[in-house]
Amino acid sequence: MQRLQAFKYELMPTGEQQRQMRRFAGACRFVFNRALALQKAKYEHGEKKLGYAGLCKLLTEWRNSTETAWLANAPVHPLQQTLKDLERAYTNFFAKRASFPRFKKKGQADSFRYPDPKQIKLDRPNGRVFLPKLGWMRYRNSREILGMVKNVTVNMAGGKWFVSIQTEREVAQPVPHGDAVGIDMGIARFATLSDGTFYAPLNSFRRHETALRKAQQAMSRKTKFSNNWKKAKARVQRIHTRIGNARRDYLHKTSTTVSQNHAMVCIEDLQVRNMSKSAAGTTEKPRTNVRLKAGLNKSILDQGWFEFRRQLDYKLAWNGGWLIAVPPQNTSRTCPCCSHVSADNRQTQSRFECVACGYEENADVVGAINVLRAGHARCACEVSGAVMPPAAGTHRSDSRPAHRRN
C-alpha cells in the first residue's frame, strides 16, 4: 500500500533567502486575498464563482500588469497552489463543511507550497533542499526522509522558517494487532477507553494561559509598531508556539499508543462545530448556561478532539486498523449490564449507577463501553447490509428526547 507522510524540519536560510521567503508568502497572501475579494463580490451579487482555470488566467494577467509586476518575482506554482487552496475552501463552504473563507493576515500562517516534485531537489546526505527562486537551503536534519518527494511546504512560525516535505512510499500491508476498543472523549479526562485506561486532560492552554494574558497585556500597553511593541509581540507569538507544540506532542503520543494497540477503535461522532456555535445562544432564546458552555467549548478546542480523531484515523490506517464513528445517542445513559436507558442512571458527572439493576462504574468507562457496542453493531450491519439497529439503548424509561450530557 502507498503511504503518504510529511517530514518537517527547521530551515537555516541566509538573510537574503529569509527576505525572499517573506516576499513569496506575501505574494501568495496578496493573490489569495485578491481572488477571495473577487469571489466574494460575485457571491454577493448572486453571480457564479470563478473556477480554478479562470482564477489562473487572472493570475497571469496580474503578473503581467505594471501595477502588480512584483508578483512575477515570486515562483508561479506556489501562487497557483494558493488559488487551489481558495478553491478548496470555497468548495468546503458550499458543502457546509466550513465557514466562509477568511482573508489572510500578515504574520498569520505565513506559508507557501511547491506542488511540483520535478522542481524540487533533495540532497539527503548534506541535509539540503533546492527550491525554485530560493536555491539550496540547509535544514536541521533530525530524522531520515523516506520515500519519493511529492511536494514541499515552507512556513514560518514563531519567527522561524520550516520546511515540510511530503513523500510517498510503498509499504507492506500491515497486520493490525490488538482488539476493539471504544473511546469516550471528555473534559475531566481527555479520553477514556472501554478497558478502563484513561488519559489525563490536556490543559496546556490553561497552564500557559496566565503567561499569555500577561504578555498580551504588556503588548497592549506599548505604542503600536514601536520597537518595544515588536518585542512584546514576538513574546506573545512564542507563547502561542509553545502552547501549540505541547498540544501537538500530547495528541501524537496518545493517538500513537491507542492506534498501535488496537485493531478497531470506535469513537463518538461529535459535531464539534455545532457545539461551538450553540454556546452564544440566540437573541430570541438566550441561554442561561452560556458561561458554562463557553468554558466547555474552549476545552473542546483546547484539547483538539478533531485533531485527535484525524490522527487516530490515519495512524490506524497505517497499522491496518479501522476507526469507526458512531452517533452519540444515549451512550452516557445506557446501562451496559441490562441496557436500561435513563437520565437517572447518571447521578453525578463521574458516577454511573443503574436504577434498574444497580450496576456501578465510572461514567466515562460506561460511555466508552457503549461506544464500543455501537461500533460493533455498526460494523455488523455494514457487513450484512441490514438496517442499523439501535445500538446503545433499545428501551427507554422516559419519552424525553436524548440529550448529551454536559
- CA nearest 253: which of 202, 212, 188? 202
Stretch that binds Zn ion, among 68-76, 202-210, 249-257, 355-363 (CB under 5 A): 355-363
Q: How far is the CB of 192 from Zn ion (least distance, A)?
A: 19
184 noted as active-site residue: yes
398 noted as active-site residue: no
Q: How far apart are CA 216 and CA 27, in angstroms?
A: 29
**Closer CB to Zn ion, residue 101 or residue 336?**
336
**Cell matching residue 65:** 500588469
Residue among 268, 302, 353, 360 flagged as catalytic? 268
Asked if 338 interacts with Zn ion (CB under 5 A), we say yes
Long-range CB contacts (< 8 A, 24+ apart) of 291-300?
A: 296/187, 296/406, 298/205, 299/187, 299/201, 300/272, 300/275, 300/276
Q: How far is the CB of 399 from Zn ion (least distance, A)?
A: 19
Q: Where are the alpha helices (DSSP H) in 142-271?
A: 204-221, 227-261
Asked if 290 interacts with Zn ion (CB under 5 A), we say no
Are the CB atoms for 121 and 132 separated by under 8 Å? no
Total of chain residues touching Zn ion, rule CB under 5 A: 8
**Among the listed residues 359, 361, 396, 397, the single contact to Zn ion using CB under 5 A:** 359
Q: How far is the CB of 82 from Zn ion (least distance, A)?
A: 56
Residues 215-244 interacting with Zn ion (rule: CB under 5 A): none
**Closer CB to Zn ion, residue 11 or residue 354?**
354
Beta carbons within 8 Å of 12's beta carbon, 6+ residues apart:
137, 138, 139, 140
Q: How far is the CB of 180 from Zn ion (least distance, A)?
A: 22
**Among the listed residues 156, 270, 356, 402, the single contact to Zn ion using CB under 5 A:** 356
**Among the listed residues 183, 335, 368, 391, the single contact to Zn ion using CB under 5 A:** 335
Asked if 357 interacts with Zn ion (CB under 5 A), we say yes
Asked if 354 interacts with Zn ion (CB under 5 A), we say yes
Residue 169 forms beta bridges with which residues? 3
Residue among 110, 302, 313, 364 flagged as catalytic? 364
Asked if 394 interacts with Zn ion (CB under 5 A), we say no
C-alpha to C-alpha distances, 85 to 52, 63, 79, 190, 235, nearest whole angstrom: 10, 19, 10, 32, 30
Backbone φ and ψ of 227, nearest 5°? -65, -40
**Cell matching residue 207:** 497552564
Are the CB atoms for 282 and 236 separated by under 8 Å? no
179 noted as active-site residue: no
Stretch that binds Zn ion, among 26-34, 36-44, 118-126, 351-359 (CB under 5 A): 351-359
Residues of the shown chain interacting with Zn ion in the complex, contacts defined by CB under 5 A: 335, 337-338, 340, 354, 356-357, 359
Query: What are the residue numbers of the active site?
Result: 184, 268, 364
